[in-house]
Structure formats: structure tokens, C-alpha cells
Amino acid sequence: MYKKDFIKKAATKAEMSEAQMDKALGAIIDSITEALAEGEKVQLTGFGTFSVSERSAREGRNPATGEPIQIPAKKVPSFKAGKSLKDTVNDE
């Protein structure tokens, strides 16, 4: 499902216009992004938790030459599904 399809479906369920839903979804995504950038967790009960994990630096290999390269440490966003979401997905 693409964003446009999601907005259409959610707007119908919430009895909102697609423009209003697009604006609301944008605000939600921006809020989650800002919280993660500040190092906060975002917990949506029944849905899941968004958080930031840190990957340590490590040595890798250049696939073309086989030479060792240093891969720097970085932060990556992650999502852990909540129980209700897992149960719903597994029931179908």
C-alpha cells in the first residue's frame, strides 16, 4: 500500500477529507521523526514502539576489491511491533 492509498483508506475510516488526513499524517510522521532525532522513544500502545538503536563501528570488505574498509558507527531507527499488532497480523 502506498501513502496515497493509505491516506484514502484512513480518511474514509475517520470521516475526514483526504487533504485533512494528508495533513494529519504529515504531522504524525514529523512528530515521530523529531522525537527520534532527539533520542526519545515513541510508544503507541497496541501498535508498537519506535526507537533509535546504535550500530558500532566495524570492519567490512569492499565487494569489488576484497579490501578491508572501516564502516563508521551510526544510529538507525527501529520499530518493534506491539502485541495487538502482532496478534492481528498472525490471525489473518
Beta bridge partners of 33: none
Grid cell, residue 15, equals 470521516
Q: Could you say which architecture CATH assigns to the domain 3-91?
A: Irregular (4.10)
Report the amino acid identity of residue 36.
Answer: L
Element (H, E) at 5: helix 3-14
- Domain regions of the chain by residue span: 3-91
Give CA–CA dist 84/46, Å, rounded: 5
pLDDT of residue 82: 94
pLDDT of residue 91: 86
DSSP letter at 92? -
Q: What is the mean pLDDT of each run of 10 residues along the chain (92 residues)?
A: 96 96 97 96 95 95 94 96 93 74
Grid cell, residue 82, equals 506491539
Q: Is the CB of residue 7 less than 8 Å from the CB of residue 25? A: yes
